[in-house]
Chain A
Amino acid sequence: NAGVMQNPRHLVRRRGQEARLRCSPMKGHSHVYWYRQLPEEGLKFMVYLQKENIIDESGMPKERFSAEFPKEGPSILRIQQVVRGDSAAYFCASSQPGYQETQYFGPGTRLLVL
């Protein structure tokens, strides 16, 4: 039973480029969460999605960031026109219906903006 999958594991972008981060939840999980972790800091909530719906995006920056979880395929976190301050580890977590609070994390994508 594969856990939460994320790719790529490492991503290098130059300022102004776009970054696309992908997350496939655990089998049977239909709830996806994205968190950001800056070096030596805790995890900060960004967005909570179910299939084809954004449930809570209160932690998402208003500009340049967007997320989706289509009916088919992985959830995608998109960062447009990246800046150096976007460099961080981005973790995806998933949970199953009825147990939304119990979240299991993927290995993360480490984004480095040059």
Chain B
Amino acid sequence: QKEVEQNSGPLSVPEGAIASLNCTYSDRVSQSFFWYRQYSGKSPELIMSIYSNGDKEDGRFTAQLNKASQYVSLLIRDSQPSDSATYLCAVTGTGGFKTIFGAGTRLFVKA
């Protein structure tokens, strides 16, 4: 059974701080990695994708991938109260059509 594991949180950070979210996955041949943000009662919204080892930056967001350790992370710099949401790590394998989601980490950014 392919799994994606995340700390459920909640993770609480003050406004302006860096929030660090982590994820591990079990399928070594996983190929694509995504971070989705989900506000309560809403649908997941893609915020970052990463496909190769290293860092990928997009605005205040940085995704990090380490395939040897089967580890993905998301850093949110200058956290804002509007970043308060559940962050879902998602993984897709080779040749497959399904994305496997982690249970998500709830983030609270305190003003």
Q: Are the chains A and B members of one assembly?
A: no
A-side interface residues toward B, CB under 8 Å?
Answer: none
- B: residues with CB less than 8 A from A are none
